[in-house]
Amino acid sequence: MELTITNSAVQFYKNEMNLKNGDTVTLFVRVGGVGSGGFSAGIVIGTPVVPYFNYDKSGISFCVTEEDVWYFNDMTIDYNKDMEEVVFQNPKIGDVVNPNDM
């Protein structure tokens, strides 16, 4: 699995989630509710209890379970300072909110 997380995104997560070097978080696919349009990325502190892939960046371990690889493989996670938001881009999934609309 290929995953890119920029330094600015890691710093955002460190600040927002009070993460310290050595902490582990898990990225997961969130299924949206009515009117949400589809999928989004979620993040929780901790290590999955099922098989997963691991990506270390700037002292933080980012995990993605095998069942969520379809969404995160080849994804770039960045932080847009001007918009004050995390940005998710995946060239394999043109629209990460509506992945079936390729």
Task: State the pLDDT at residue 50.
Answer: 96
Q: d(Cα 29, Cα 68) in Å, to the nearest integer? A: 6
Task: State the pLDDT at residue 39.
Answer: 81
Task: State the pLDDT at residue 53.
Answer: 97
Q: d(Cα 34, Cα 45) in Å, to the nearest integer? A: 26
DSSP β-ladder status, 52-57 and 24-31 = unpaired
Q: Sketch out the chain's domains with CATH numbers.
A: 3-89 (2.60.300.12)
Give the predicted TM-score (pTM) of the model: 0.84
Task: State the pLDDT at residue 92.
Answer: 80
Task: State the pLDDT at residue 36.
Answer: 46
Ranges under pLDDT 70 in the chain: 32-37, 94-102
Task: State the pLDDT at residue 100.
Answer: 56
Q: d(Cα 39, Cα 49) in Å, to the nearest integer? A: 22
